[in-house]
């Protein structure tokens, strides 16, 4: 199946094994939005902190009934938090990625999660991955990334350390047999 590299919204990018940029080495990036102006995504397989509890005060949250890991979403704007969640709910002022999946930077969603009233599934990340106009397309042409369809099981349920290989497996790629031609982001 051919992929339109001009609109990868809702797809997963998988860094090729030779990716030299340490920000993206072995990364799986969920592309949240992609247009002619550029792309915005979140790395979903790199844990930054095992608990978000030390960050509660920064989000005006006094206590939480749940704890969750904090993901490294990417190198851009590392102080900004983002939540990828399902099912989609417009009350959080979110970017809709698919019919059922969205991303938001709203503090309200974290407050709801802390009260045990948040969405069914979610991950919290600091920072994001961003590309300017045509930058991502150029990286794809130089074989820096593989493109895979979204697999919410990988995003929300798979062990973090297995997500890179699992994402590649969804498109039939076995990194033990992979020959890299580039890998420069």
Q: In Å, how far are 113, 128, 149, 168 from 83, measured between CA atoms? A: 10, 11, 20, 24
What percentage of the chain reaches a pLDDT higher than 70?
94
**pLDDT (0 to 100) of residue 20:** 87
Q: How far apart are CA 16 and CA 95, in angstroms?
A: 27
pLDDT by residue, tens only, the chain of 185 residues: 456 677 899 999 999 998 889 999 999 999 999 999 999 999 999 999 999 999 998 888 999 998 999 999 999 999 999 999 999 888 899 999 999 999 999 999 999 999 999 999 999 999 999 999 999 999 998 889 999 999 999 999 999 999 999 999 999 988 777 666 554 55
Q: What pLDDT does 133 receive?
A: 94
What was the pLDDT predicted at 183?
47
Domains delineated in the chain:
11-177 (3.40.1740.10)
E-state strands within the chain: 11-15, 28-35, 38-43, 47-49, 70-72, 76-86, 95-96, 102-104, 121-132, 145-149
Of 154, 149, 145, 141, whose CA–CA distance to 178 is shortest?
A: 145
């Amino acid at each position: 199946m051919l992929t339109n590299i001009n609109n990868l919204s809702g797809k997963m990018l998988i860094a090729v094994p030779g990716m030299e940029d340490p920000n993206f080495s072995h990364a799986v990036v969920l592309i949240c939005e992609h247009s002619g102006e550029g792309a915005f995504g979140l790395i979903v397989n790199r844990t930054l902190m095992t608990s978000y509890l030390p960050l509660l005060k920064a989000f005006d949250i006094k206590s939480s009934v749940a704890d969750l890991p904090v993901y490294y979403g990417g190198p851009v704007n590392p102080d900004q938090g983002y939540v990828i969640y399902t099912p989609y709910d417009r009350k959080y002022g979110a970017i809709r990625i698919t019919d059922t999946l969205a991303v938001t930077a709203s503090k309200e969603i974290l407050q709801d999660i802390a009260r045990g009233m948040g969405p069914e599934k979610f991950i919290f990340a600091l920072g994001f991955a961003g590309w300017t106009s045509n930058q991502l397309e150029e990286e794809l042409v130089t074989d820096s990334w593989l493109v895979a369809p979204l697999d919410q099981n990988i995003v929300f349920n798979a062990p973090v350390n297995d997500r890179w290989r699992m994402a590649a497996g969804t498109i039939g790629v076995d990194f033990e047999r992979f020959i890299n031609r580039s890998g420069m982001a």
